[in-house]
Amino acid sequence: MTSKKSEHLSRREVLAAGVAAAGAVSAANAMAQQAEGQPLLGNPQLPEIPGSKMRWAIVGLGTFGVGRVIPGFADARQSRMTAFVSGNPAKAQDLGARYGVSHLYNYDNFDDIAQDDEIDCVYIVLPVGLHAEYTIRALRAGKHVLCEKPMASTAAEAEAMVDAAREANRQLGVAYRVHFEPNNRDAQRRIVAGELGTIRHISADHGFSANPDYAPHKWRLEKLLGGGGSMYDIGIYGLNTSLMMLPGDNVTSVSAAYSTPTGDDRFNEVEGAIEYRLRMASGISVQGSSSYCYSPYVSRQRYFGSTGSIEMQPATTYDNNVIQLEGGGPPRTFRSGDPMSQFAAQLDGFSEAARNNAPHLTPGEMGLRDMKLIEAMYRSADAGGAVMEVDIAV
- Give the active site residues: 149, 237
Q: Is 129 helix (H, G, I), strand (E, B) or coil?
A: helix
- CA nearest to 246, candidates 291, 286, 287: 286
Distance set, CA 47 to CA 50, 271, 353 (Å): 9, 50, 20
Contact 124, 131 (CB under 8 A): yes
Q: Please say whether the dihedral angle defined by the alpha carbons of residues 294, 296, 297 and 300, taken in this order, is positive or negative.
A: negative
Q: Tell me the HSE value of 373 on the side-chain side, using a 13 A CA sphere.
A: 34
Which residue, 304, 333, 328, 302, is CA-closest to 315?
A: 302
Q: Exposed, middle or buried by CB within 10 Å (0-12, 13-18, 19+), for 47?
A: exposed
Residue 77 near residue 341 (C-beta atoms within 8 A): no
How far are the Cα atoms of 72, 95, 173, 312, 372 from residue 54, in angstroms, in the given order?
A: 14, 20, 15, 34, 32
In DSSP notation, 277-304 reads EEEETTS-EEEEEEESEEEEEEEEEEEE
Helix axes 236-244, 364-382, angle to 10 degrees: 120
Decide if 162 contacts 368 (C-beta within 8 A).
Answer: yes
* Pick from 3, 219, 21: nearest CA to 126: 219
How far is 381 from 223, CA to CA, in rounded Å?
17
Q: Are 334 and 323 a contacting pair, CB within 8 Å?
A: yes
**Dihedral sign for Cα atoms in the order 154, 155, 157, 158:** positive
